Amino acid sequence: MERKPFAITLNPASSLANHTGNWRTMRPIYVDHLPPCNQGCPAGENIQGWLYEAEEGKYEQAWRKIMEENPFPAIHGRVCYHPCETACNRGQLDEPVSIHAVERFLGDYAIEQGWQVEAGVETGKRVLVVGAGPSGLSAAYHLARLGHAVTIIEAGPKPGGMMRFGIPQYRLPRNVLDAEIARIVAMGVSIHLNQKVDNLETTIQEGEFDAVFLAIGAHLSKRVDIPGRDAGRMIDVLGFLKGMDGRAVPKIGRRVVVYGGGDTAIDAARTAKRLGAEETILIYRRDRGHMPAHDFEVEEALEEGVLTRWLQTIRQVDNTTLTVEEMTLDEQGRPQPTGRIETLEADTVILAVGQEVDTGFLEDVPGLDISSDGVIQVDASMMTGRAGVFAGGDMVPAERTVTVATGHGKKAARHIDAYLRGSEYRKPSPNTVAAYDRLNTWYYTDADKNRQPYLDLARRRASFEEVVGGLDTDTALLEARRCLSCGNCFECDTCYGVCPDNAIIKLGPGQRYEVNYDYCKGCGVCAEECPCGAIDMVKEVR
């Protein structure tokens, strides 16, 4: 036996010879779970991923991470109804992270800094996109990144689709819209305006296109049968909102009635108010709780002085009056007539009862499945019955929002790319969701949401200035740091610190950790204490 110095009986750390890992029946493993925000995003953004970059003030990396999925952060930060925030786990702790506000900040900052995305290596393939709305532009952007040559044909005078002709300026300033579209044009995408595709097959042949993406949206206002002696007083909502962007500002009277309960109806009411209507009344056949419009938009409209008449339908429109009937809701929440009639005065009636797709140009295309309401059926890869022709946005069955349309564009682009390469796109299967009960919230500080500034009411009623303001570099940083990083390691060192056996190896910044299975006894303290639930305990197999 070796001789030790005086009074030394045991060598330091000689316990390392004792591999306590063989006590283990369960083993900890590092995992990445799917944060609820990512799961909730119709555009498929890796929200937790870009917030992680933004937390460190790495705004360009954060922005580029958004741009991998969505070419319009400044637009979405304004107009998206952020289902991510509804899903956000922080909502169960105090308030959801204001994801849209951070996204908007990043989008605006990128425009200010002039950051650009490069097109991919040319493949020589040509793709036609019909319609320059969110879906078409998104598809064009992703196809350009993948190296395909994209031509967009747009019937309107300017690109943007419903983002321009459906969403008022006070929600989406046109310089922001133009800047994000210009970035796509700078990637080499050509947009032909004021052109209509009359016959798709002819256009495909003449342009020698290898694939087509249809995204013409739903631009026909639905009609309702209201007897009217003076039809000139009734205008359709899309014509009204489109008129706001350019040619002729629509003429309205002093008393305006908007008929409908969706977001577009609210937009029309708020626009009429700004155009100087003394009285703007929103008439909807059900009550506020049953309105399809988002409640915060209803609230903003009420703040601006829009009046409402819930549970009423328009029966007749006359010269300066209109007849309404009071409704009641049955058990299924459907409106039923009561027979009680009222008359009110109105100079203009704006009809906002939904939109349809104009599919006339597709009549000669073989194999297309078009439903009676004009909606086109597509398969899981967004392809229509005609090989090589894909469709997305408002013209296929889905929720009609900018974000869903943008997501369709990306999804279609990936499938078109695979189609052009003769392969099949397979979406990686998602991880399990990082539910709230996976979190150990003790480790997070209480932190109130950073509020976005609002324009004052007087100016909101009288001008088309943007209503909601943005965050600045400081508040955006603080807001990003409210993210709990659900299900994804954020390198907080807690596992490394709490292991009673020093069996977690810290690999250094950006490298995360490793378990030293020679010594890990499988106690599970790391998994229990991990704030964000990024460690699972699994059965040990020997």
Partner 1 sequence: MPYQRVKFYQTGTFTVGNRLLDESNRTVQAGMDRTNSLNSGHRACQGCGEALGARYALDAVMRATHQQMVAVNATGCLEVFSSPYPESAWQIPWLHSLFGNAPAVASGVAAALRAKGRKDVRVIAQGGDGATVDIGFGCLSGMFERNDDVLYVCYDNEAYMNTGVQRSGSTPPRAWTNTTQAVGVDPGNPMGIGKNLPRIAMAHGIPYVATASVADLHDLEAKVTKAMNFRGARYIHIHVPCPLGWKSDPAHTIKVARLAVESGLFPLIEAEGGEVTDRTPIRKQVPVEQYLELQGRFKHLFHPRDERALEAIQAIADANIHRYQLLPVKA
* Nearer Cβ to partner 1 (91/374): 91
Among 50, 310, 464, 519, binds partner 1 (CB under 8 A): 519
Residues 6+ apart with CB under 8 A from 495: 28, 504, 513, 526, 529, 530, 535
* Nearer Cβ to partner 1 (16/182): 16
Among 5, 12, 289, 367, binds partner 1 (CB under 8 A): 12
| Range list of H helices, 345-456 | 402-420
Residues 6+ apart with CB under 8 A from 328: 311, 335, 336, 338
318 binds partner 1 (CB under 8 A): no
15 binds partner 1 (CB under 8 A): yes
Integer Cα distance of 8 and 12 in angstroms: 10
Residues 400-459 interacting with partner 1 (rule: CB under 8 A) = 442-445, 447
Give least dist CB 412 to partner 1, A: 36
Region of residue 367 (phi > 0: left; psi between -120 and 50: alpha; otherwise: beta): left
* Nearer Cβ to partner 1 (28/354): 28
Give least dist CB 497 to partner 1, A: 3
> DSSP string spanning 469-481?
----HHHHHHHHT
Give least dist CB 451 to partner 1, A: 15
Supply the angle between the helices 263-274 and 295-303 in degrees, to the nearest 10. 20
* Nearer Cβ to partner 1 (74/526): 526
Q: Report whether 443 contacts 153 (CB < 8 A).
A: no
494 binds partner 1 (CB under 8 A): yes
Token pair of 223 as six digits: 């009609």
* Nearer Cβ to partner 1 (276/524): 524
Give least dist CB 539 to partner 1, A: 15
Token pair of 58 as six digits: 């790495």
23 binds partner 1 (CB under 8 A): yes
Closest CA to 200 of 355, 356, 391, 374: 391
Interface with partner 1 by CB under 8 A: which range of 121-129, 350-358, 403-411, 482-490? 482-490
493 binds partner 1 (CB under 8 A): yes
Closest CA to 440 of 355, 533, 525: 533
534 binds partner 1 (CB under 8 A): no
* Nearer Cβ to partner 1 (395/515): 515
Residues 188-247 interacting with partner 1 (rule: CB under 8 A) = none
Among 157, 430, 453, 497, binds partner 1 (CB under 8 A): 497
What does each C-alpha distance from 204 to 130, 295, 386, 409, 422 come to in angstroms? 11, 44, 12, 19, 19
* Nearer Cβ to partner 1 (115/444): 444
Token pair of 41 as six digits: 């995003």
- CA angle 79/404/84 to nearest 5° reads 65
> What is the chain's length?
542
Token pair of 457 as six digits: 């009411």
Among 86, 465, 518, 538, binds partner 1 (CB under 8 A): 518
Binding site for partner 1 (CB under 8 A): 7, 9-20, 23, 55-56, 442-445, 447, 478, 481-485, 490-494, 496-503, 506, 508-509, 516, 518-519, 521-525, 527-529, 531, 537
